[in-house]
């Protein structure tokens, strides 16, 4: 229940700070006084997108804040799921807009995304404006009404899960059929490509090894020359480095006894001598192994040319990518061979899911059929007292192809007279009749949905007199049992039945036009209703009529 509303710097409102109460309340005011501005502010609290132009001219920031009492609505799960502090007695929703175009939303001082604000707002309040009467044209709305009264949310969710799986399987089947068809058309080409790569006997790492071997053989003469020069420098009998080191070691050892200082040098030269002997041995072995074979070079280059040719043909740059392509072609060919088997498996799954979806849809239809009878009886009882003694209201439930909401199409049929056949309500009902139908639907739905707050914005359009009084009685009845119903109205019959009466006024000041809303006391209320009865010149008769309406 909305218990407090604060608005600052929103269009014509400087500052509004007002308390609201449970039960049935009314808001009145002349056309253009600013009632729609207050609704616009509430819409922002419920998650509507903001426009910086709504900020009062000259102000830097606009703030809209509402306090809700949720103690009777068991809504803690939403706050726990979204990691928001929960206070059942005082839930605070705030929206801030800046002149720079920035928008921020808060729930209990926790910054939240606009989508989350809207999700919570949908559970807190329903604002029924005149344009919502157009919902009667919408088949989805009519189906939603039936589903609410049928209390079939669990069954609908169960069906939708099955239907989603069924749709996914149908999509998979269509894609598989298309892929198999494409592959079969290209089967010969795929087979040729696979055999070409398979017959190439490709091996991972082969290309690098062949490239290295080719490079080595093409430079074999340079390699042999360098190895021969090094071998000669190290191992020549007279001038080789190794022979020179051996002679040096012999000379130093001959003086070591009388000149110990050379001991360390002998060890170092001896170590170098051993290392160089090993190096010389390895170079000698390499020299013997290097042998240029033109035939082998041609063989290596021919193999490389074949690999390069395949890489160019298949638009890759490594032998590993060719191997991957070969395996992919193999899988495609296997899929073609096993296509019918795979197709049969998916077809069986589609059939199974379709049968399950139809079974779940039939269960939905049974729940809806029972609800249809209940709605028809309830609407008949509600509409007759609203000035339509010969009204007929019927719901046509027809079978359609499986869809996201089952296999039912709902159509609300209406006739205000015994002589007029039942036709879709949006085609035959007048504006006033549609308003009464919508009020009756909302009254019926409110008992099932248990929304904390419902606001009616001039739902009384097109009615007057006794009918207006009956509509007020319905709204007052809806406001019972701890619920809050607020009606914005121009009719004194409705305004008189409110437990609390607010008035919206527009004033001209030195700083421009401002709009404000205030709660009326008993005397102010009498005068306001009298003015609604008689116009700007309030007569004594109007005062007495107002008192009579108020039960004074």
Q: Which residue has the tokens 């175009």?
A: 101
DSSP, collapsed to helix, strand or coil, labels residue 95 as strand
Q: Which residue has the tokens 């139908």?
A: 437
pLDDT at 130: 60
Q: Report how far residue 160's alpha carbon sits from residue 353's, in angstroms, rounded to the nearest whole number.
A: 12
- Continuous segment of H or E residues that includes residue 150: helix 139-150
DSSP, collapsed to helix, strand or coil, labels residue 432 as helix
Strands 103-107 and 110-112: antiparallel
pLDDT at 25: 95
pLDDT at 319: 92
pLDDT at 187: 80
Of 231, 257, 236, the residue nearest 247 (C-alpha)? 236
What are the tokens at 9?
């710097």
Question: Which stretches of the chain drop beneath a pLDDT of 50?
Answer: none
pLDDT at 23: 92
Residue 155: how many other CB atoms lie within 10 Å: 19
DSSP string, 468-535: HHHHHHHHHHHT-TT-EEEEE-S-HHHHTT-SEEEEEEEEEETTEEEEEEEE--HHHHHHHHHHHHH-
Q: Report how far residue 322's alpha carbon sits from residue 315's, in angstroms, rounded to the nearest whole number.
A: 9
Q: Report how far residue 484's alpha carbon sits from residue 452's, in angstroms, rounded to the nearest whole number.
A: 6
- Continuous segment of H or E residues that includes residue 89: none
pLDDT in tens, 425-459: 878 777 788 888 888 888 888 777 777 888 998 88
Q: Using an 8 Å Cβ cutoff, are 189 and 383 in contact?
A: no
- Continuous segment of H or E residues that includes residue 220: helix 220-235
Domains present along the chain, CATH in parentheses: 1-129+451-520 (3.40.50.300), 188-337 (no CATH)
Long-range contacts of 155-162 (CB under 8 A, 24+ apart): 155/360, 155/363, 155/364, 155/367, 156/364, 156/405, 156/406, 158/360, 159/357, 159/360, 159/361, 159/363, 159/364, 159/406, 160/404, 160/405, 162/353, 162/356, 162/357, 162/360
DSSP, collapsed to helix, strand or coil, labels residue 110 as strand
> Helices (DSSP H) in 290-318: which residue ranges?
294-313
Distance of alpha carbon 421 from its chain centroid, rounded? 44
How many CA atoms within 13 Å lie on the side-chain side of 504? 23
pLDDT at 335: 75
- Distances in whole angstroms, Cα of residue 72 to Cα of each of 17, 108, 124, 368: 24, 18, 12, 29
Q: Using an 8 Å Cβ cutoff, are 458 and 488 in contact?
A: yes
Q: Report how far residue 73's alpha carbon sits from residue 123's, in angstroms, rounded to the nearest whole number.
A: 10
């Amino acid at each position: 229940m909305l218990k407090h509303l604060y608005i600052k710097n929103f269009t014509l409102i400087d500052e509004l700070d007002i308390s609201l109460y449970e039960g049935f309340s009314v808001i009145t005011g002349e056309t253009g006084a600013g009632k729609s501005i207050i609704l616009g502010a509430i819409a922002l609290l419920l998650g509507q997108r903001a426009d910086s132009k709504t900020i009062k001219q000259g102000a830097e920031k606009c703030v809209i804040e509402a306090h809700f009492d949720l103690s009777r609505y068991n809504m803690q799960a939403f706050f726990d799921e979204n990691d928001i502090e929960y206070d059942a007695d005082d839930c605070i929703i705030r929206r801030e807009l800046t002149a720079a175009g920035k928008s921020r939303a808060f729930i209990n001082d926790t910054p939240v995304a606009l989508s989350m604000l809207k999700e919570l707002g949908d559970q807190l309040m329903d604002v029924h404006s005149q344009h919502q009467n157009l919902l009667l044209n919408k088949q989805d709305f009519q189906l939603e009404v039936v589903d609410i009264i049928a209390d079939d949310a669990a069954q609908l969710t169960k069906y939708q899960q099955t239907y989603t799986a069924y749709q996914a399987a149908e999509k998979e089947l269509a894609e598989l059929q298309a892929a198999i068809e494409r592959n079969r058309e290209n089967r010969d080409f795929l087979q040729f490509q696979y055999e070409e790569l398979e017959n190439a006997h490709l091996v991972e790492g082969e290309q690098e090894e062949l490239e290295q071997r080719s490079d080595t053989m093409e430079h074999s003469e340079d390699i042999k020359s360098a190895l021969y020069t090094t071998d000669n420098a190290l191992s020549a009998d007279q001038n080789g480095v190794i022979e020179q080191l051996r002679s040096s070691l012999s000379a130093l050892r001959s003086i070591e006894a009388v000149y110990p200082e050379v001991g360390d040098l002998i060890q170092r030269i001896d170590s170098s001598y051993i290392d160089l002997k090993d190096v010389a041995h390895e170079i000698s072995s390499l020299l013997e192994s290097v042998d240029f074979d033109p035939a082998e070079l041609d063989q290596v280059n021919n193999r490389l040319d074949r690999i390069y040719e395949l890489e160019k043909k298949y638009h890759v740059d490594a032998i590993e990518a060719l191997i991957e392509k070969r395996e992919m072609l193999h899988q495609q060919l296997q899929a073609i061979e096993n296509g019918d088997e795979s197709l049969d498996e998916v077809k069986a799954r589609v059939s199974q899911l379709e049968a399950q979806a139809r079974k779940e849809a039939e269960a939905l239809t049974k729940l809806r059929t029972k609800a249809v009878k209940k709605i028809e009886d309830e609407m008949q009882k509600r509409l007759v007292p609203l000035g339509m003694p010969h009204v007929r209201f019927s719901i046509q439930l027809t079978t359609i192809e499986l869809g996201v909401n089952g296999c039912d199409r709902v159509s609300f049929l209406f006739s205000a007279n015994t002589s007029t056949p039942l036709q879709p309500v949006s085609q035959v009902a007048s504006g006033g009749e549609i308003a009464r139908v919508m009020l009756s639907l909302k009254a019926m739905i409110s008992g099932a949905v248990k929304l904390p707050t419902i606001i009616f914005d001039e739902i009384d359009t097109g009615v007057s007199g006794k009918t207006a009084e009956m509509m007020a009685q319905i709204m007052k009845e809806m406001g019972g049992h701890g619920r809050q119903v607020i009606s914005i109205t121009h009719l004194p019959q409705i305004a008189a039945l409110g437990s609390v009466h607010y008035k919206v006024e527009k004033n001209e000041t030195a700083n421009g036009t401002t709009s404000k809303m205030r709660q009326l006391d008993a005397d102010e209320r009498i005068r306001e209703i009298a003015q609604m009865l008689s116009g700007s010149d309030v007569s004594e008769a109007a005062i007495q009529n107002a008192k009579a309406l108020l039960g004074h």
